[in-house]
Structure 1
Amino acid sequence: MHANTSDWLGAFDWLNTQFSLFGLPVYWSDFIGNVLALATVVLALKRWVVAWPVQILGSVFLLIASLNVHLLGNAGRQVIIIVVAGWGWAMWGRNKHDQGEVQVRWASWRMRAVLIAGMLVGTALVTLLLKATNLSFYPGAPWWLVACDAWIFVGTLIAMVAQGRRWVEFWFVWIAVDVVGVPLAVHSGLYFSGIVYGIFFVLVLIGIRDWVKRSRTVEAMS
């Protein structure tokens, strides 16, 4: 039984091997996970419920990639994404069932304040936790590097909660994540992730424009 299990797991060793993409070394797990992550953004822009299971699958591959380069903060982020995506999947499915389509809207000013406070306070607390446990990068990693890891972790969680609530603001949170995510991914050797973060930024701008327009339509019908 043990041998069979080892053989089964060994069949996935190729995910942690690299290939050359535009002259850059890219892990297969990083590549597949980010392709699915890009697909998730496109599907979310279209407000298709299938965006959530695609995101879960992509996060599984990115979890493998993060563990391979010892980026444990980012690995924990993928676990959170998988859990929250299950909740978001249910929320969007319910809204589509009730309204006939997934309807988007702006958050209240109170909830915007909660999102901002959660981003700042959450990043500070997660930074302290990652630093104290040496779970980010390597033992003794500088504070700024750990804080960047924490910022992406917390920002992703907040963005997904806002996305599940169908708030337009979730796109703006992704901008904040991308600004840090691009240089951090490159610094960690996940070059394809850095490229994808850049593509994310363009898609986010498109998403903002589309969801703002659709939110106005919903308000006009209310």
Structure 2
Amino acid sequence: MHAFDWLNHQFSFFGLSVYWSDFIGNIFALLTVVLALRRLVISWPVQILGSVCLLVASLNVHLTGNAGRQIIIIVAASWGWATWRRNKANEGTVVVGWASWPVRLVLVAAMIAGTGALGAFLKAMNWSFYPGAPWWMVLCDAWIFTGTVIAMYTQARRYVEFWFAWLAVDLVGVPLAVHSHLYFSGIVYGIFFFMVLAGIRDWAKRTGNQIASPRNGLPEQLEGALSG
């Protein structure tokens, strides 16, 4: 028996059958949000550990899109970890700011286009849920995947909009997790909703109306082009 096989086992959580991987991964995810709200660099390695567990949980219930999402999170968290460490070393603390309106429009367009493109790909390959899964389920899977990529990018760049991206993910993630019998994930997504609202308030208060500089947002060349 492999050392980590127990992650694939279920236990009863107030009458609900919950995978250990789902449970532990979401505990780490909750801790990640708490640490990110406080702008602590340690939030990134905690997020990586949680995503490893949630990757196992997603594979258990054949959520291919969500499994791929965890891989993206692990890769993006490694990059975000490096950017936050560098920013803290330069500024003495992790400095956050708002994205400019042109950048916001790019992020919204990327969310819509990414969801449509990824949804079509997952549907064509039958890689989301089960063969022949309805379009609405596949698009939900794609929405969460795309939203996570955008959330990870904006978090690494220290945009306040990072919290809004997670809010969009949560609004779809709760019913999808329950429908997929990942009940603990559904509960955690619900808790995330209120923590995200607190995150928006806290980061916004710290920034006022400050717009993130090119160094804190998109690469300088793209930011300059968007800003005219």
Q: TM-score range by the shorter chain?
A: over 0.9
| Aligned residue among 92, 112, 129 for 2:121 | 129
Distance 2:210 2:127 in 1: 44
1:64-84 alpha-carbon deviations (Å, 9 max, x no partner): 000111111100000000000
What is the aligned residue count? 211
CA distance in structure 2 between the partners assigned to 1:183 and 1:166 by the alignment: 28
1:212 equivalenced with 2:208 (yes/no): no
**Normalization by structure 2: what TM-score?**
0.91
Aligned counterpart, 2:78 = 86
Q: Which residue of 2 aligns with 1:175?
A: 167
What is the rounded CA distance, in whole Å, between the counterparts of 1:17 and 1:93 in structure 2? Answer: 36
**Counterpart in the other structure of 1:3:** none
For the structure 1 residues 197 and 157, does the alpha-carbon distance in structure 2 shift closer, same or farther, using more than 3 Å as the test? same
Gaps of 5+ in 1: 1-6
Question: Is 2:146 the partner of 1:154?
Answer: yes
TM-score normalised by length of structure 1: 0.93
Q: Corresponding residue for 1:103?
A: 95
| 1:103–1:218 Cα contact (<8 Å) kept | no
How far off its partner does 1:134 sit?
A: 0.6
Q: Deviations over 1:116-174 (max 9, x none)?
A: 00000000000011001111000000001000000000000001100000000010111
Deviations 1:23-57 (A, max 9, x none): 11110000000000000000000000000000001
Matched, 1:22 2:14: yes
SS in 2 for 1:137: coil
For structure 2, the 5+ residue unaligned runs are: 212-228
Structure 1 residue matching 2:143: 3-state secondary structure: helix
> For the residues of structure 2 that align with 1:98 and 1:165, how far apart are their CA atoms?
14
State yes or no: 1:51 paired with 2:43. Answer: yes
Partners of 1:139 and 1:87 lie apart in 2 by 34
Structure 1 counterpart of 2:3: 11
1:40 aligned residue = 32
Does the 8 Å contact 1:53/1:89 carry over to 2? yes
CA distance in 1, matches of 2:83, 2:3: 36
